[in-house]
Amino acid sequence: MRAIRNVFEVNLKIITWISAAFIGLSTVLSVINVFLRYGFGTGWIWADEFSIYIVIVMVFLYQCNLEYRDDQLSISVLAEMFSGRPIVLKVMYFFRMAVTFLLYGILIRSGFALIKQNLKFQAMTPVMHVPLWILSLVVTIGLMLVLVYWIVKFLPEGKKEGENIG
């Protein structure tokens, strides 16, 4: 089981680097576009649209890393209040997991409906003419990765009861 965890942790590092590259690229494109607009009265219309899409992709890809490290929807205040009660901590943690699975399940279901609709109508982005189903698919995959990493998180690794909760 530790090997599976190691594979997923390497994947999380790759996702982190991809997300960092996307935010860097978006920043560079935006800065260049600002200089072009205010310095020369022109700009790259595609750069604005591209920046928006890569930030969206970055946010949804990185979401699984936040969940895996307990940095998203954190219950650390409650965990500190009940730090001496491992059963209460476990119940809160599983409740948080159930809520996460429910909400992400709804979002994933909606994502597939959106992909289907975008394919049906052949919807495209206004400037770059990228098919919207591709962007919807990337967002949906990001949401699905959150659930996969939640499952991997529960694989046995030999930690004490109540550790890594927060």
pTM of the predicted model as reported, rounded to 2 decimal places = 0.77
pLDDT in tens, the chain (166 residues): 778 888 888 988 999 999 999 999 999 999 999 999 999 999 998 999 999 999 988 988 888 888 888 776 566 777 778 888 888 888 888 888 888 899 999 999 999 999 999 999 999 999 999 999 999 999 999 899 889 888 887 777 655 444 554 4
Q: Is residue 100 part of a domain?
A: yes
Question: Residue 134's domain spans which residues?
Answer: 2-153
Q: Is residue 119 part of a domain?
A: yes
Taking the C-alpha atoms of residue 37 and residue 35, their distance in angstroms, rounded to an integer, is: 6
Residue type for position 157? E
Counted domains in the chain: 1
Contact 31, 77 (CB under 8 A): no
Q: Is residue 166 part of a domain?
A: no
Q: Is residue 30 part of a domain?
A: yes
Q: Is residue 84 part of a domain?
A: yes
CA 31 to chain centre: 25
Backbone angles phi, psi at 163, to 5 degrees: -75, 155
